[in-house]
Structure 1
Amino acid sequence: MKAFLYGQEDPDKYLWHDHFDVPEPENKKQVQVKVITAAVNPVDYKLPHLLRGSRVKGQPIGYDFAGRVTRTTDDCEYQEGDMVFGKALKGCLAEYTLTGVDHIARVPPQIEPKIAAALPVASLFSLQVLRLGGCGETQGEGKSVLVIGASSGVGSSVVQIAKANGCKVYAVCGPSSIDFVKSLGADVVMDYSKEGFELPNDDCPAGTMDMVFDSVTSPVDPNYEPTARRTLKAGCKYICGHSPSKMDWARYLVWYYTGINVQRKNYSLLWTNTNPADLNKLSQLVMDGKLKININDLPFNEANCRKAYELLKSRRTKGKIVLVMEK
């Protein structure tokens, strides 16, 4: 099968393979899927650095997909031909992938495969990060949420799901994304490129936010936390999609694997928990018109796979980039 891979010697140097082995289910909890659409995410190119590269070398890239089940076991709840979406176990920028039955849900007929493929990482993260911040489905009414990086794949979903949860949304983005972010429902939109911009400010005063979600701060981007944290009410959470501090990640991993929370006070990172119930929740939000995904779609080939990651790293895309294997 055709596949786009992490390099064998250097996982940052991607490879195209025309005859990569088709993966086979290894147990009854796995199914084989013919990929129809696959979305890319920043975690794809950050993963080799988080895992030191050894576990991903020579493997297909990517997590988000939608496709058709092609092989199952006899007692599986899914049948060959079922349209599903979710998280791949061994990469999805390939014609076939493996996934776990606990990591997928059926694609409703009302939802296009390219929309379904864009949901699992970014929108699932958004759904769960709002719960972590106390602004989830039953918690959000009347609360205020600040979203830094509101035009990104994750940020744009956080804005919309927060609005669906009854929150007032304050958003930070670049000048070219202001109209897009307003169209998502953000109540207050701030342009970070304006001279003298900082947080807190008159539009987003100190001590007024119930939660801050920061999708920008990372080892290679500006660190908003020292100033943006001051917008929070006492005791409320600052949640970051990626931290420039290795110690923050170490603390988070202790919490993730042991349940003992040793993270900094009122600060958290988050890994998504991919599960059918939350995937179905996202499908319902899409069908209800409360979650709209802006799609930049490209045909699946080597040049477009490379282009997709160049665009992603530029941080100038609005919404999600999706590779289309078949119409």
Structure 2
Amino acid sequence: MKACIYTPEKSEIKWSTEELALPTPAADQVQVKVLTASINPIDLALPVIPIVQKDCPGRPVGFDFAGEVTIGSGEYKKGDLVYGVARQGSFCEYTVADVSRIARIPKGMSPVVAASLPVATLVGYQALRDYGILSPGKSVLIIGASGGTGASAVQIAKAHGAKVYAVCSGRNADYVKSLGADVVLDYTKDGFQLPNDQCPAGTVDMVYDCVTSMQDMNYEPTARGTLKEGGMYVCTNATNLNDWMAFFVDRLVPFSVQRPNYSLALVDCNTKDLNDLSDMVSSGKLRIQIKEVPFTAEGCKEAVDAIVSRKIRGKVVIKMLIMSSDAPFIVSHSTSALSLKRFVPSFGCMELHSAIVSP
């Protein structure tokens, strides 16, 4: 099989070939022939986050996947179509996944759509649900409303009766309105700031910030002003490593060490929540705008470029192909260090390899 793997080094992103072994499932896992995989910003940041970077070398890139079970476990049998999160990577022809982190692809849903859901859509659904926004009368400000997680969050919040304020560029305003946003705020307008006349101080129960990070604009100092008293500021990334450390420590101790009324959002992939997303898609309450690329050097480069640019609407999904093992598969990635430093400015860069793996 073929795979795209991490090799963290201070060099440009490039593709080459090397041998890997086929993944073998444990008793509570299934082996899956991957049909589609989806890229997320975390896939680029993972190799340089100190807590997890040691696990990256040699590991296939990616988490999101949809595919066909080749070795079953529990209720999942050979031939079943499933989707979910693969801890050992998804940009590969075969992967393994915990049975607790997958769900069946429902009839009528394509593997392309299924692969787009697990990380970006699920993290937004869980954040909105866990902080009580999914009910009539609630309100949420979604920053980065045209991207993979933001666009899904707009639809999920609206489908459950919440009022949605959405921040995006002017060129994406009509798209975000079509998703159901009640108020669209164009951050590209001169003098844009939060709170403002469209979203005054003390307006929303929650801010769901899909933009703020160490590399992008920090909305939190001003966007916090839009919160009602006791409202929550939930962010998909952090402006510093201290917030990430506090987030993980918070899960190990019986008291909170995070800042007041603040939390990072990290997906907890599980079968029940995946089925909830499937139901929303099947009922028409949730639709994902998708850009498809092939599993080739050029296609994967295009997927990485789209994530780095922060300009993509919705999701990028990689479709697996049958490729000759002797096909040329080396390409220098033009965005390389400069682009990745938007994600990982303090830790250098990483090298991605496409690996040819013997069956």
1:181, 1:11 → 2: CA distance? 37
Retained in 1: the 8 A contact 2:204–2:227?
A: yes
Match of 2:55, as an amino acid? R
Q: Tell whether 2:257 aligns with 1:291.
A: no
Q: Which one of the candidate residues 174, 177, 184 is aligned to 1:182?
A: 177
Aligned to 2:31: 32
Task: Give percent identity, aligned residues only.
Answer: 50
2:294, 2:264 → 1: CA distance? 33
Bigger shift: residues 281-290 or 268-277: 268-277
Deviation of the 1:12 alpha carbon: 7.2
Aligned to 2:78: 80
1:200, 1:188 → 2: CA distance? 13
Retained in 1: the 8 A contact 2:8–2:47?
A: no
**SS of 2:85 mapped into structure 1:** strand
1:10, 1:246 → 2: CA distance? 20
Q: Structure 1 residues 52, 272: closer, same or farther in 2, change over 3 A?
A: closer
Within a 5 Å distance, the mapping from 1:140-289 to structure 2 comes to: 140-289=135-284
1:44, 1:62 → 2: CA distance? 6
Aligned to 1:58: 58
Retained in 1: the 8 A contact 2:142–2:154?
A: yes
1:11, 1:282 → 2: CA distance? 39
Retained in 1: the 8 A contact 2:293–2:302?
A: no
Match of 1:5, as an amino acid? I
1:258, 1:92 → 2: CA distance? 32
Deviation of the 1:320 alpha carbon: 0.2
RMSD after superposition = 1.6
Aligned to 2:7: 7
C-alpha distance after superposition, 1:280-317 (max 9, x if no partner) = 00000000100000000011111211220111110010
Q: Tell whether 2:151 aligns with 1:119.
A: no
With the length of structure 2 as denominator, give the TM-score of the two structures: 0.86
1:116, 1:12 → 2: CA distance? 31
**SS of 2:126 mapped into structure 1:** helix
1:244, 1:303 → 2: CA distance? 32
Deviation of the 1:58 alpha carbon: 1.7
Retained in 2: the 8 A contact 1:294–1:318?
A: yes
Aligned to 1:310: 305
Aligned to 1:101: 99
2:12, 2:58 → 1: CA distance? 11
Q: Structure 1 residues 8, 253: closer, same or farther in 2, change over 3 A?
A: closer
Q: Structure 1 residues 290, 207: closer, same or farther in 2, change over 3 A?
A: same
Bigger shift: residues 178-187 or 249-258: 249-258
Bigger shift: residues 92-101 or 51-60: 51-60
Bigger shift: residues 39-48 or 242-251: 242-251
Match of 2:38, as an amino acid? A
1:135, 1:303 → 2: CA distance? 40
Match of 1:321, as an amino acid? V
Retained in 2: the 8 A contact 1:11–1:56?
A: no
Match of 2:161, as an amino acid? G
Deviation of the 1:11 alpha carbon: 8.9
Deviation of the 1:257 alpha carbon: 2.8
Retained in 2: the 8 A contact 1:65–1:86?
A: yes
With the length of structure 1 as denominator, give the TM-score of the two structures: 0.95
Deviation of the 1:18 alpha carbon: 6.4
Match of 1:33, as an amino acid? V
Deviation of the 1:109 alpha carbon: 1.4
The number of aligned residues is 321
2:94, 2:199 → 1: CA distance? 47
